[in-house]
Chain A
Amino acid sequence: DAGITQSPRHKVTETGTPVTLRCHQTENHRYMYWYRQDPGHGLRLIHYSYGVKDTDKGEVSDGYSVSRSKTEDFLLTLESATSSQTSVYFCAISITSGELFFGEGSRLTVL
C-alpha cells in the first residue's frame, strides 16, 4: 500500500462547471502524476509534479491545470468541464525513477 487517496471517487457534474480532484499521499514521495483512462486509449499522462510548486505538462494537458502547494497533495483542476473530460482519473506516485503506484481512481462524468 503506497498510501494514496483520491477524492472524490465519483463525481457527476455539468458542462462548464469547475472541478477539482485531489490526490493525497502519506509518505512524502517527491514525484506525483495524474493520468486519465479512456476506452481505446489506455492511460495518458495529463500533468506531473517533481516537487512542491514544480509541475509540468504531459501528453493531454489541454483543459487541465494542477497545483502542488504541499508535498502530500496534488490537485487536478478542470476550470470549465467538458463532456470530453468524462473519464476515470488516476493519481500515481513514483518511489524510484520509474515504478509507479496508483490510487484507486476518480470517476468523473460531465453531462
Chain B
Amino acid sequence: GEDVEQSLFLSVREGDSSVINCTYTDSSSTYLYWYKQEPGAGLQLLTYIFSNMDMKQDQRLTVLLNKKDKHLSLRIADTQTGDSAIYFCAESSKYSGGGADGLTFGKGTHLIIQP
C-alpha cells in the first residue's frame, strides 16, 4: 500500500532556510501536498504540486519534486518564528469514492526555530 515518510524533527536557526523532505511510494499520485499545522489547530494547505512539474515557487516556499526517486521537498526561505509548526506531506491515496481521493499523510515534521 501507499506510504509517506518524513523525518520527525528539523531544527533551524531563524533567518536560515528550512528544507523538509518526504518520500512517497505511489507513483500514480497526481498531486502532492504540503500542509502546516500550528498547535491546537487544524491542518492548513500550504501548497501543492502537480506530478508533471519539477518545481513550484510561491513567495518563501519552494517545492521540488523528483518523480523518479519519489522524493518531495519543501524549502522555506528566511525561516521565521511563525514558521514553527508541524509540516505534513500528503499524496492522493487508494481510498477513492466517486472520483474523489482522500489523502495519505506522512507522520509530520516538527520544525523547531532557534533564535
Residues of A within 8 A of B (CB): 30-31, 33, 35, 40-45, 48-51, 54, 56, 58-59, 90, 92, 94, 97-105
Q: How far is the CB of A5 from chain B (nearest CB, A)?
A: 11
Contacts of B107 in A (CB 8 A): 40-42
Instruction: Please give, as numbers and ranges, the residues of chain B lying within 8 Å of A45 by CB-CB distance.
Output: 93, 95, 102-104
Q: What residues of chain B lie closer than 8 Å to A48, measured between beta carbons?
A: 95, 97, 102
B interface, over-half SS: strand
Q: Residues of B with Cβ closer than 8 Å to A? A: 30-31, 33, 41-45, 48, 88, 92-93, 95, 97-108
- Name B45's contact: one of A40, A41, A90, A101 (CB within 8 Å): A101
B103 and A50 contacting across the interface, CB-CB below 8 Å: no
Task: Find chain B residues with CB under 8 A from A100 CB.
Answer: 43, 45, 102-103
Asked if A31 contacts B98 (CB within 8 A), the reply is: yes
Contact status A99-B95, CB under 8 Å: no
Main secondary structure of the interface of A (DSSP, over half): strand
Contacts of A105 in B (CB 8 A): 41-42
> In the bound complex, do residue A49 and residue B97 qualify as a contact, i.e. CB atoms below 8 Å apart?
yes
Q: How far is the CB of A1 from chain B (nearest CB, A)?
A: 11
Q: Report the minimal beta-carbon distance from A88 to chain B, rounded to whole angstroms.
A: 9
Cβ–Cβ contact A59 & B95, under 8 A: yes
Q: What residues on A are CB-neighbors of B99 within 8 Å?
A: 50, 97
Closest 5 A-B residue pairs measured CB to CB? A50-B98, A50-B97, A42-B107, A102-B42, A31-B100
